[in-house]
Structure 1
């Protein structure tokens, strides 16, 4: 789907000055369906913000779904300038993004997407090892995504370890895959776009993803049983990753506009995403689906794995991703997350404008748009 839209948008303080430019049209891609929060708020409505903030001078042409690029092809599409900006999930390219995937190894530890989306952005735009990785892989990182905690959607009830054992479970990333194996399941690493067909055909017994996909991707039709067991959350890789040549050719003021739009869209996206996850569970139940709490033994298995996940991440950083500074990277990420827990402690978590202003004050306002990502 391709969309080219305009709409009103409030300007928050501290970033852009309102200069005008010749119109710049560029291609933006999100492989999620148009109604998924990462596409709807992160690209379709973001495009409206960009056009309005730039007085129509920056014009994103948005594609959603897989019509332009398959999920695993977005990084190459950014590098080849097929698209000028796209969402890319780093778990699809672990060998090319070892730093990003190393911090994702902590995914089992966290359950607060709102804190994570800002902490991940802050880390990804300031940590030297991560910045070098973006440069080496040919992408300019401008902002994060974060999912609600992934839960289990299954073809039959999976509430206990006995019911879990032997099940083929769609996972994303090595951390949750390690736990699935430890608990007796079989991890299957396929893109989220293939969950429906896998469940429908029986090549998957369960899929692990955010609750909104029960409705957004109609998983309620093929997975009637949901277990509210958190299997971690995902944030690694850019929600907005730019082609370096395109980014460098923009003016400083245009880059500031895109930073402003990112702060606003990112804040709106996460607030709406969390609301969609909650309402989707209720809608699925209304359609006749079953929703279970996990049994004590299944929950204990996940808790036991979580208790050792930081040490496991240290080991994985070295042995799987070949990083000799993995511990320093992981510790910096943990410290950044704790910083954002403090920053958001007294903020209205349902106010996107307040959240966007903090993002500008604490992240984008401290980035030099004249030099950031410029080749």
Structure 2
């Protein structure tokens, strides 16, 4: 028996790396598809495989930890954990420059959204190092941020006078320019707020709203992407990242790119179409549960008006808060990609 145990232990030691480095990882919302379908399998299964066992992870989400999404990067900088992921728009109180990552109304499909994120990434990497002492590992999408309303909505004009929960500061600014009242309410509080009439409408991703049951307390879906794509920035404490060996740093970045970012982006467009099908009760929905919301397509006039508000009011407002340097960098990168320029 002793001989058998010794042989088993020797085999285990030879098959595993001598010094696996375990990362403490805090992911995004635990009840949404990004965490369930992409973050969880990556950190718990793919990471050890893709790094030859050199890196492993213990994963939880910020809501399971009982912390706010806005606190993730701040706590990451304080070395409370090694890796953190949250919606960039949640943290713009600390870093208004990050709003430039996710501009509403300029990306109507996943390919356009990914091109915008790719253009913004060098800027985001500098912001994360400067503001949060963190290294960007990857940027993954939520679906486009659409509008869920309780009560009939047929165009952007119908949002005037309504109380609308925005998904970020740029979105809220846009809603206010339309004549709506922008309301700041946490994602988890939206269903109850819609049900009680505290708000009339709310902005979030189609898949997020479906998963969280927003369709049970709303009946009209305006599919114009008023809130952009709400990208989630996955970052690592800079000291922790810099302390890894060069091989492990390269392996980690490659693994996140191939094992987490790429699958999430690949699923984004099909996921959007499927989510809208489920929210509106179409036969293309692959889920057992189907909602019956009324889909409202934006008119050409709506789109033209929205773009005008974006260029005349929303982007200049952001540039003033972020500063001339970041506005200039945005013009040279994201702006060139999406065909917009912020006047300075």
Equivalent residues of 1:111, 1:148 under 8 A apart: no
Largest Rg, 1 or 2: 2
Equivalent residues of 1:114, 1:146 under 8 A apart: no
- TM-score of the pair, normalised by structure 2: 0.80
Name the SS of the counterpart of 2:324 in structure 1: coil
**Residue number in structure 2 paired with 1:13:** none
Once the two structures are TM-superposed, the CA of residue 59 in structure 1 deviates from its matched residue by: 1.0
How far, CA to CA, are the matches of 2:165 and 2:326 in structure 1? 27
Equivalent residues of 1:111, 1:232 under 8 A apart: no
Greater per-residue helix proportion: 2
Deviations 1:232-252 (A, max 9, x none): 4135561x1111121122111
The root-mean-square deviation of aligned C-alpha atoms, in Å, is 2.8
How far, CA to CA, are the matches of 2:129 and 2:75 in structure 1? 15
Give 2:117's match in structure 1, choosing from 116, 120, 123.
Answer: 120
Name the SS of the counterpart of 2:267 in structure 1: helix
What is the total number of aligned residue pairs between the two structures?
313
1:37 has 2:33 as partner? yes
Equivalent residues of 2:174, 2:310 under 8 A apart: no
How far, CA to CA, are the matches of 2:223 and 2:318 in structure 1? 29
Deviations 1:295-354 (A, max 9, x none): 65xx63452231353454552244223x12243212122266369xxxxxxxxxxxxxxx
How far, CA to CA, are the matches of 1:338 and 1:178 in structure 2? 20
**Residue number in structure 2 paired with 1:202:** 197
How far, CA to CA, are the matches of 1:301 and 1:285 in structure 2? 21
Name the SS of the counterpart of 2:64 in structure 1: coil
CA distance change for structure 1 residues 147 and 46 in 2, over 3 Å: closer, same or farther?
A: same
**Residue number in structure 1 paired with 2:244:** 250
Gaps of 5+ in 1: 1-18, 340-375
**Residue number in structure 2 paired with 1:11:** none
Give 2:49's match in structure 1, choosing from 44, 48, 52.
Answer: 52
Written as runs of structure 1 = structure 2, the 5 A alignment for 1:6-25 is 22-25=19-22
How far, CA to CA, are the matches of 1:317 and 1:162 in structure 2? 24
Gaps of 5+ in 2: 1-15, 282-289, 340-344
- TM-score of the pair, normalised by structure 1: 0.74
Equivalent residues of 1:79, 1:139 under 8 A apart: yes
Once the two structures are TM-superposed, the CA of residue 91 in structure 1 deviates from its matched residue by: 1.8
Once the two structures are TM-superposed, the CA of residue 146 in structure 1 deviates from its matched residue by: 2.5
Name the SS of the counterpart of 1:88 in structure 2: strand
Deviations 1:105-144 (A, max 9, x none): x3222223334335424532x34x8515533322111211
**Residue number in structure 2 paired with 1:366:** none
